[in-house]
Amino acid sequence: MTAVDTDILAVAREQVLERGEGLGQEQLLAVLLLGDDRLEELLQLAHEVRMRWCGPEVEVEGIVSLKTGGCPEDCHFCSQSGRFPSPVRSAWLDVPGLVRSARETRDTGATEFCIVAAVRGPDARLLSQVREGIKAIREDGNDIQIACSLGMLTQEQVDELVAMGVHRYNHNLETARSHFPNVVTTHTWEERWETLRMIRAAGMEVCCGGIIGMGESVEQRAEFAAQLAELGPDECTMNFLIPQPGTPYEQYEIVEGRDALRTVAAFRLAMPRPLLRFSGGRELTFGDLGTKQGMLGGINAIIVGNYLTNLGRPAAQDLEMLDDLKMPVKALNQSL
């Protein structure tokens, strides 16, 4: 079978929709190269795949930055790196602030609350803040599931997080392995992969994704989707570059809407089963209409409310959209 004599969407229908087997790198490239005239058909197929292998529910999550800014790493997209003249100053959220944030998130009906810190990896102070924070969230009567994103971990730290009851860990590979050295020079893709391996081995759910629009080629987008599929995360988070003031990517273009939708659908065809989450940058890249199209093109999870250093749409607006789309918000007992 060659890509020339077989239509890629017909292949995907049989392979992904019927058999639940994700597309490989070459096939994903063929999807990403489809013209705008096939976009609607592509989104429809990605939606069918999502409905068939995941169902209609949407997982809703809120996130908060526990430690903002001053990160020693040099991820070129990041406003929190201390190496760039970004306007973001260092800040620490105290435990009462964390409890309030978790409550604000729970009040939206979200089932996930992710605690994030801008660090290479956590130190003892950060871990103890997380431990106290989780304890206080529970004492507040909040049973929301707690995820963390605290950078690269040692085995002891992985074990500590498991003991704290953290059920999912986010650690993004950010971009294709071949493009990573252009984006980050202070640590490697392989170091990130190693943290992901330890998280998986410890029985935590793995959340891993990246950012589209960092100068990667279309081949590298296909490569990245295939690499994520190989990792097999429980959740894949899709961000679209927000060119942040002061960072090396300040002047980068925002990903064009149709290109972004094609990428969303391709990621779904690479990974039929995991949660595929709309994360940062969707407001700029997609707007209201594009967000809806994404929800009908493979996405089945969203972050509501604000992000780490950027603002999102009010949660109510997203919940109303899900209601319009007749997509039920996943309930807490369904995810336990």
Partner 1 sequence: MSTEFCARCGRVEADGDHTRCAVLLASIDPPRFCADCGRRMVVQVTPAGWVANCSRHGERTSTSPSVD
Say how far apart CA 280 and CA 310 lie, in whole Å. Answer: 8
Q: Does 81 sit near ligand SF4 (CB under 6 A)?
A: yes
Q: Does 65 sit near ligand SF4 (CB under 6 A)?
A: no
Binding mask 226-255 for partner 1 (x = CB under 8 A): ----------------x--x----------
315: left (phi over 0), alpha (psi -120 to 50) or beta: alpha
Q: Does 214 sit near ligand SF4 (CB under 6 A)?
A: no
Residue 43 or 304: which CB sits closer to partner 1?
304
Choose the stretch contacting partner 1; rule: CB under 8 A; options: 84-92, 144-152, 158-166, 204-212.
84-92
Q: Shortest approach of partner 1 to residue 79 CB, angstroms?
A: 9
Token pair 């105290």 is at which residue?
A: 94
DSSP per position, 86-110: -SPPPEE--HHHHHHHHHHHHHTT-
Residues in region 109-138 near ligand SF4 by CB under 6 A: 118, 120
Choose the stretch contacting partner 1; rule: CB under 8 A; options: 4-12, 35-43, 288-296, 304-312.
304-312
Pick one of partner 1, ligand SF4, none as the site partner of residue 311 (Cβ within 5 to 8 A by kind): partner 1
Q: Does 118 sit near partner 1 (CB under 8 A)?
A: no
Say how far apart CA 265 and CA 299 lie, in whole Å. Answer: 8
Pick one of partner 1, ligand SF4, none as the site partner of residue 95 (Cβ within 5 to 8 A by kind): none
Q: Shortest approach of ligand SF4 to residue 214 CB, angstroms?
A: 12
Q: Shortest approach of ligand SF4 to residue 137 CB, angstroms?
A: 23
Instruction: Specify whether the CB–CB gap between 187 and 151 falls below 8 A.
Output: no
**CA dist 286 → 252, 257, 259, 264, 328 (Å):** 16, 5, 10, 11, 22
Q: Shortest approach of partner 1 to residue 245 CB, angstroms?
A: 7
Say how far apart CA 228 and CA 311 lie, in whole Å. Answer: 27
Q: Shortest approach of partner 1 to residue 105 CB, angstroms?
A: 5
First-to-last alpha carbon distance for the chain, in angstroms, is 42
Pick one of partner 1, ligand SF4, none as the site partner of residue 315 (Cβ within 5 to 8 A by kind): partner 1
**Count of beta carbons in the 10 Å neighbourhood of residue 37:** 7
**Count of beta carbons in the 10 Å neighbourhood of residue 203:** 9
What type of residue sits at position 9? L
**Count of beta carbons in the 10 Å neighbourhood of residue 287:** 12
Q: Does 291 sit near ligand SF4 (CB under 6 A)?
A: no
The number of C-alpha atoms within 13 Å of 243 and in the hemisphere containing its C-beta is 10
Q: Shortest approach of ligand SF4 to residue 199 CB, angstroms?
A: 16
- Residue among 236, 299, 229 at smallest CA distance from 264: 299
Q: Does 97 sit near partner 1 (CB under 8 A)?
A: yes
Q: Shortest approach of partner 1 to residue 315 CB, angstroms?
A: 7
Residue 108 or 237: which CB sits closer to ligand SF4?
237
- Residue among 63, 67, 263 at smallest CA distance from 175: 263
Question: Using the rule CB under 6 A, which residue among 15, 25, 27, 80 binds ligand SF4?
Answer: 80
Instruction: Specify whether the CB–CB gap between 202 and 162 falls below 8 A.
Output: yes
Residue 183 or 301: which CB sits closer to ligand SF4?
183
Which residue ranges make up the site for ligand SF4 (CB under 6 A)? 71, 73, 75, 78, 80-81, 118, 120, 151
